[in-house]
Structure 1
Amino acid sequence: MARGDQIYVMREFMGLPGLYEHHGIDCGDGTVIHYRKTEVARISRTSMAEFAMGQPVYVKRYTTSYLPDVVIQRAESRIGESAYNLTTNNCEHFTTWCKTGVNESAQLRNFGLDAVRISLPGTDKLINEAIDNSSPAKSMELYHQALDNIASAESTLRPQYQHAQKEENTWHRVALAALKQGREELARAALHRKVQWKKTAADYKSQLDYLETLKAQLKRDSLPLRQTISSS
């Protein structure tokens, strides 16, 4: 472990050991900045012992990331924050943002629990209930709830898509500058980051396109209902 590392320990949940990872940023002086769970979850600087709670500490490795001083500065800039959210702003979202600038949680994604995957199954259920409901007014209410879900998912995804595009362009410029300076190794690393961000942007774009398709289908399917309600 070293200053600026993203570290994690395995924590228990409901008495089951090793169920999830709790992440923090190693400050290199025996302290860790992390989302400390008390009455209110808050980003705090605590001792390594309090962070680890007797468990082994692991390091999350990256091919490229911010320099340690920058990582620490980013972590310190958010000390005192109490905006914890399991699906959009948990301890891993925070530390990954400190290391790479990306607000994401790999373990949530691996569990199929990222914000968009949570919202869309609920939307599908609302649509099915709207179709099956015999009351036009109730069906319209359910359709509007589904549209609200889609709008919420879009508001989450669009800034991430724009950020990914911006990072792709930034790393492209870094690669060109490195090549001009004859720094081939740095150029390769920058191009690797560019490709990663390009793939991330493409994934976000694919999800946004799906949401647009779903929204258009929803509006089209609800047209007969709107006509029935307006004529009654």
Structure 2
Amino acid sequence: MINLFTFLVEKLSLLCNLKVFFAATSVQGPDRPTQRGPPLRRGDLLEVPRTLFTHFGIYLGDNKVAHLIPDILPMLTHDRRLLRSVVTNKRLIVGCVYKCASVRVDTLEDFAYGSRILVNRMDGGAAAKALPGEEVARRAEALVGSVPYSLLWNNCEHFVTHCRYASAASRQTEQFCEYLKSLIRDQRSILVTGMLGIVSIVFFGMAPSTTLPTILIPFTLWMAG
């Protein structure tokens, strides 16, 4: 039952976030980023606000940023020239669907994608103290390459918190899970999913593909609530 619930949460989060990723990454193209304050230092944790989420990276110095981003291309080719090109919306979305990502090093401009950069904003609210900048950068560099991806359990925020605080966590994931819990606690969610299941049976007939979701999904929501 726990595995089924985890599967449902993953799929729901995927559907919710694919639109978010597409809208957020297609707002504007790479441009000179806006960054206020003192010069960036090696090991700084960078945040780039998007439309409905925040993208994170670790500054490596020399105008380079390491960041974890969904990308399908590493599964299709080993051509380094192609892999070094900026990740497009299609590459990102398909990589997200197939849970394929990479920790890659891009220029500050490509990472920021024209957005304003926030520096080390997590430090004040983090449970652990930030590691020395050089160690943070080395941890990030050691992870460069293809990695499995999950919107909930292994995203760009998990990557940077692992590097800077030695403890992977994602505030965005926690907030999203709290939102899902509020939906699950709402008994109307169970009624709606049950009614949709009955409608699917009426229109498509009694079959495992229609009957099982009609029973299992409302039951899972009821048990989880």
TM-score normalised over the length of structure 1: 0.46
- Between structure 1 and structure 2, the one with the greater Rg is 1
Greater relative contact order, per chain length (Cα 8 Å cut-off, separation 6+): 2
TM-score normalised over the length of structure 2: 0.48
Higher helix share: 1
